[in-house]
Amino acid sequence: MSEDKPGILGQIKEKLVSSKQKWAKEGRLLTGTSNAERLPPGQRLVREWPVLDLGIQPHVSHEDWKLSIDGEVENPLAWDWQSFAAAPQSDDVSDIHCVTAWSRYDNHWQGVKSQYLIDLVKPKPAAKHVIFHSHDGYTTNVTLEMFAAPDVLIAHSWEGEPLTRQHGGPARIVMPQFYFWKSAKWVRRIEFAATDRPGFWEERGYHNIGDPWNEERYS
Ligand SMILES: Nc1nc2c(c(=O)[nH]1)N[C@H]1C(S)=C(S)[C@@H](COP(=O)(O)O)O[C@H]1N2
Ligand SMILES: [Mo]
């Protein structure tokens, strides 16, 4: 064996060191507030992307895909896939925080910004809430202010690839500042409303807002 090539032990050590350095950077295994900059309280970091839903994963083709944006708006819209694809596309990198305590860093999303949609439909002054309706019967509610955040997307791609059906493709909501149950998969309708209406999990003991930094898991 030549001296300038690390042997097996050397290679293992290099791997160990680089992964431990990464842990340090991410504050892995730390609890409490010491890593509050990135990992919310009570969360643990994962590398894979788990699938969570009610067990029905509807198949929606691009041909059949429709998105209604309606309710308390001046210009209700019904988008087909072409209109969605023709809208200005945005990229965002964000972390996922699931209420079941896993977080996944640096997800690269592509889609249309909620802000673009909001400008297009023009919410009436009465509109204070937004309710997402999905093809599997799932619903979830947010405030208009939460929906209008600059990092909220109607996303069709993840890591440069079309969203898979199990992760909500052809299109899902991504609301990175809240627990991931607010990010409706297979979205078919975005309803602007004057009054709040709890969604599927909000009716079943989960927090109405769901801010991971305040650990708003349960109501
Ligand atoms: N339509 C729909 N959207 C949904 C759900 C669902 O059951 N149906 N589950 C929510 C929950 S609880 C989580 S944690 C995330 C999971 O998204 P993922 O499967 O892509 O990780 O989707 C959210 N959006
Ligand atoms: Mo979840």
Domain annotation for the chain: domains and CATH numbers = 8-214 (3.90.420.10)
pLDDT digits (tens, 9 = 90+) for 180-217: 999 999 999 999 999 999 999 999 999 999 999 999 99
Residue 50 has pLDDT above 90, yes or no: yes
Q: How far is the centre of ligand 2, averaged over its atoms, from the C-alpha of 80 (Å)?
A: 28
Q: Helices H, strands E: what count in the chain?
A: 4, 11
pLDDT digits (tens, 9 = 90+) for 155-185: 999 999 999 999 999 999 999 999 999 999 9
Q: Write down the pLDDT at residue 31.
A: 53
Q: Looking at the CA of 173, which ligand is closest?
A: 1
Look at 27-36, 121-130, 151-160, 203-212 and tell me which has the smallest mean pLDDT.
27-36
97 lines ligand 1 (CB under 6 A): no
Alpha helices in the chain, H assignment, sequence order: 8-26, 81-86, 114-121, 144-147
178 lines ligand 1 (CB under 6 A): no
Q: How far is the centre of ligand 2, averaged over its atoms, from the C-alpha of 51 (Å)?
A: 9
Q: Write down the pLDDT at residue 30.
A: 52
80 lines ligand 1 (CB under 6 A): no
pLDDT grade, residue 3 (50/70/90)? very low
Closest to 169 (Cα-Cα) out of 78, 45, 51:
51
168 lines ligand 1 (CB under 6 A): yes
- Residue nearest atom 12 in ligand 1 by C-alpha distance: 181
90 lines ligand 1 (CB under 6 A): no
- Arithmetic mean of pLDDT over the chain: 90
Cβ distance 91 to 100 under 8 Å? no
